[in-house]
Structure 1
């Protein structure tokens, strides 16, 4: 069951888990959730590295609760509309990324590729780890993969 926007705004858990409503997109809710994370990242990018990392840790822990509670409320494990995990995964992708919208777009594309393709161990985590942690973990791993590629690209460009 997919909640309506009216149901989302009456439930803080669903509202946050569904990425302020971005997870209600009929097609590709994960992509729309990641897209909704981009403007929020714009503000995060100005934080110091330790503070940015603290935000990632707090939003990850919060996400484990939110995603698990939303799944229970909806009666569906990892409902497609739950996109808080995409928010945190994208923000992790962009940790210490070079400034600029080209890098934001590149990080967006990389994160979506790894989140959709789910190479190992992402696929294992997606299938084997349950609860809110399981919902969050595959996107955290996708964010790490995407961040490594992004940072590697930035390093190579800097070397040229």
Structure 2
């Protein structure tokens, strides 16, 4: 397993990934999070771990809801254990993204929109995941649906703090 990790994980950003397009670089590391589902009026504490991969051209993460230290044998209604692979695409200056968890996989494209990084679901362009803000020690993420009038309905928020 050590060889797999050595081959996958990278020490830094690839020189082929322009710094101005390294939108996810600040996320590398471990985060404690509060996931708030607005539709279910429910919340859960979790963890989100990010690492550079693929010779520094990608960022991979693992999101764990609830966090490993608070998981119980009784499943939480918001339980999820998933991974995203984000790979910079020099041809489009966007990021190609795949997110997977048990029984599901989504393909997305990430682009900068002002101060936000917006990941659009390629199978349903009205569904977006948005890094509304990314700071050195905290970030805010949202799961949104775009309504017919163009407004956004926020389904869920994540407020994360660096561990």
Question: If each structure's strand is expressed as a fraction of its own residues, which one has the higher value?
Answer: 2
- TM-score scaled to structure 2, two decimals? 0.24
